[in-house]
Amino acid sequence: MVTYKIQIYPSQSITDYVRDRKAQILDEFGQYKFYNSHPHVSLFSFQADISNEHLITKALKEASVFVDSFDISLNGFGYLKSNRAIYLKIGNGSQVARINQLFYRKFRESAKSFGIRVIDPVFAKYPHMIIGSEFEQKAFLKVHQTFIDQKYRETFAVDQVRLLRDIGNGKNDFVETISLTEKVAVSLKWPEEKVWMVNEPQMSLFSHVA
């Protein structure tokens, strides 16, 4: 069994901004967890047999029928003291979380129809864009002071997600891009569960899932 991850990559301008902040923190405060990871928003991960990878991709494409493209609004920096993490907050986080739950549920239904065993799901209950975590305590306090008052508000469109395979040591192999705009035909549809976009208040509590 291997671990697969579903992630969202932001626009190039946001990617460049996050990479610059990661490099700034690395130069000023030393190494930390996720300093070399590609900027992303995690949706969910799971374990499955690698021999079923082509069917996993097919199941994800079928599940994408029930999710339209949507926007993610980044709104400033957040912090989590328990693992000394810094991240970019998502203003419409509850909307993204609902989309995530529906997408995973439809994926599980499709995977089951193909006979794929999917275990150990991990959800981003409060989606966010991680900058880094597990800083040394003194470094974390300095990073907090550096970024606490910085304003950053950007919105980007999500019209695809990425399927990645965890290969260990914090590294992933790219498997497939799953489009949210190019729909595939499925044998069953639940139109009443289609996700339509609405404005949501900003989430105030976050748990760390990178």
Tell whether the model's pLDDT for residue 201 goes beyond 90. Answer: no
Domain-located, residue 118: yes
In contact, 85 and 208? CB cutoff 8 Å: yes
The residue range of the domain holding 77 is 2-183
What pLDDT score was predicted for residue 90? Answer: 96
Give the span between the Cα atoms of 74 and 21, in whole angstroms. 15
Domain-located, residue 194: no
Write the CATH number for 110.
Answer: 3.90.1140.10
pTM of the model: 0.84
pLDDT band at 184 (very low <50, low <70, confident <90, very high): low
In contact, 12 and 156? CB cutoff 8 Å: no
* pLDDT tens digits along 34-81: 888 999 999 999 999 999 999 999 999 999 999 999 999 999 999 999
| % of the chain residues with pLDDT over 70 | 87
pLDDT band at 31 (very low <50, low <70, confident <90, very high): confident
What pLDDT score was predicted for residue 124? Answer: 79
Domain-located, residue 129: yes
Give the span between the Cα atoms of 157 and 69, in whole angstroms. 7
Domain-located, residue 206: no
The tally of domains found in the chain comes to 1
132, containing H or E segment: strand 129-132
Task: Rounding to the nearest 10 degrees, give the CA dihedral for residues 187, 117, 192, 67.
Answer: -90
* pLDDT tens digits along 119-168: 999 987 789 999 999 999 999 999 999 988 889 999 999 999 999 999 98
Domain-located, residue 125: yes
Domain-located, residue 198: no
Tell whether the model's pLDDT for residue 200 goes beyond 50. Answer: no
Least confident of 63-72, 96-105, 134-143, 197-206: 197-206
Domain-located, residue 196: no
pLDDT band at 206 (very low <50, low <70, confident <90, very high): very low
